[in-house]
Amino acid sequence: METKKKTTKASQPFLRWAGSKRQLIPVLSRFWNNDYERYVEPFAGSACLFFSLSPKKALLSDINRELINTYKQVATDVDSVLKELKKLKKGKKDYYRIRSLNPETLNPNERAARFIYLNRYCFNGLYRTNSKGKFNVPYCGDERGVMPPDEIFILASGLLKNAKLHANGYEETLKKVKLGDFVYIDPPFSVRAKEIFNEYDASKFSSEDIRHLRTWMLKLDKLGVSFLVSYAESEEADLLKKGFYWDTVSVRRSIAGFTTSRKRVNEIIISNRNMF
């Protein structure tokens, strides 16, 4: 398979992600301009803002090693990833067979293809593991799972080539931030509210992490680095926004993961630059 010629079309995410900020892109993108030297995102997830902005230089990280391996393989060998993806058949039986595979026994391209396949056909784009670290989200592909066309992966590959990709915690990434960077921070919500947490794993981000994040926001501001934070309306958000510019944005979220049960919830957008 030969990679298609580069096109000028905008890129977009090829992964589904619980809590994706696609709905907020028109608001979030106002804070970016091409004068910034680098885009930094320490909780990459589906990286929808990164793909929308298409920065010339970026630093993306996430604690999810499977996710970062996938981005690295799409960046360096998208043709091989697509070839492996085409070997995986859609269907409940095949899904559970592929889910049961130990990713450590696969080569990097097979591992990336497995991650993409499970992401597209699992329930609501969730990433959840059991106590043994094994992915355990059930199948939902017959209802809503769709694999993006090859062009989406190829466009994403071209953009990911401009990014440094690291599998580490957010603090390790924020230590690398320098003047001239633009930092977008979209952490997991540490809010134990039913309307929020049916899509998120509270154990992944704690109240202590919220306090650490607040400290980092103050550090970035002192360094003169522009940042943007998105977070669910909550007491935790009240702590994060104190002393900074902020606004409330209403978005539609599925409750309990079902698109038929949607309601509007508020998210708080926080920045040390007044672009509201």
Whether 6 has a pLDDT exceeding 60, the answer reads no
The mean pLDDT of 179-183, rounded to a whole number, is: 98
Whether 137 has a pLDDT exceeding 80, the answer reads yes
Q: Which helix (H) or strand (E) holds 267?
A: strand 258-271
What's the pLDDT score for residue 194?
42
Stretch(es) of the chain classified as CATH 1.10.1020.10: 66-160
Cβ–Cβ < 8 Å for 122, 94? no
What's the pLDDT score for residue 197?
40
Looking at the chain, the number of H-run helices and the number of E-run strands are: 11, 7
CATH architecture of 23-63+168-276: 3-Layer(aba) Sandwich (3.40)
What's the pLDDT score for residue 188?
87
Candidate ranges 62-71, 125-134, 143-152; pick with highest mean pLDDT = 62-71
What's the pLDDT score for residue 125?
86
Helix, strand, coil % (nearest 5) of the chain? 40, 20, 40
Q: Is 154 helix (H, G, I), strand (E, B) or coil?
A: helix
The pTM score is: 0.89
Cβ–Cβ < 8 Å for 33, 140? no
Q: What is the largest CA-CA distance in the chain?
A: 54
Alpha-carbon dihedral sign for residues 243, 247, 248, 249: negative
Cβ–Cβ < 8 Å for 169, 239? no
The tens digit of pLDDT for each residue in 12-43 reads 999 999 878 888 999 999 999 999 999 999 99
Residue showing tokens 């784009």: 125
- CATH of 66-160, picked from 3.40.50.970, 3.40.50.720, 2.60.120.680, 1.10.1020.10, is 1.10.1020.10
Stretch(es) of the chain classified as CATH 3.40.50.150: 23-63+168-276
What one-character-per-residue DSSP string does 35-75 give?
A: T-SEEEESS-TT-HHHHHH--SSEEEEES-HHHHHHHHHHH
Whether 3 has a pLDDT exceeding 70, the answer reads no
The CA distance from 17 to 110, in Å, is: 21
The mean pLDDT of 108-113, rounded to a whole number, is: 98
Residue 237's pLDDT band (cuts 50, 70, 90): very high
Whether 200 has a pLDDT exceeding 50, the answer reads no
Angle in degrees, CA 255, 25, 264, rounded to 5:
25
Phi and psi (nearest 5°) for 71?
-60, -40
The CA distance from 127 to 63, in Å, is: 12
Residue showing tokens 């550090």: 219
Please provide the average confidence, as pLDDT, over all residues in the chain: 88
Cβ–Cβ < 8 Å for 170, 45? no
- The DSSP call for residue 2 is -
The CA distance from 260 to 57, in Å, is: 39
